[in-house]
Amino acid sequence: MGIDIIVQNQVHQPIETVTGPAGSTLPEMVLRDPMRPMMQGIHKYADTMFNSYQLQLLLEELNYFEPKNEDERATISSLRHAAELAIREHGYLWFSGD
C-alpha cells in the first residue's frame, strides 16, 4: 500500500518510476502540513497529476518541508528529482494512490 509515483513525458508515456521509501512515506507527509497546498493535493486513494507549472510550485514547497527522519529526507530528494525531470521533459508527475 502506498502511492506510486511516475514521471511522464509530454505525451504521457512513463519515463521513470520513483522507487524507495517515497511511496510508503508520502501519504503521512501530505497529511502533516496543511499549509502546503501542492502536497495537500496528493491523494492517498486516488490519482493526482501535476503539470510542469504545478511542479514548480511543488519544488518551492519542498524547499521548506521539514523532514522528520531519513525516509522523509529520501522522499523529498526523490520527489525533487522526479519533478525536475518532468519539467525538463515538459511532462507530468503522476501520483497513483491505492
pLDDT tens digit sequence for 13-30:
999 999 999 999 999 998
Better pLDDT: 95 or 33: 95
pLDDT tens digit sequence for 30-41:
888 777 899 999
Which grid cell sits at 25?
512515506
The single-letter code of the amino acid at 26 is: L
Report helix, strand or coil for 4.
strand
**Confidence band for 1, pLDDT divided at 50, 70 and 90:** low
Per-residue exposure over 39-68, b if at least 16 CB sit within 10 Å of its own CB, e if not: beebebeeebebebebbebbeebbeebeee
Domain ranges within the chain, ordered by starting residue: 3-97
Average per-residue pLDDT for the chain: 94
Q: What is the pLDDT of residue 2?
A: 86
| Residue 95, beta-bridge partner list | 5, 48
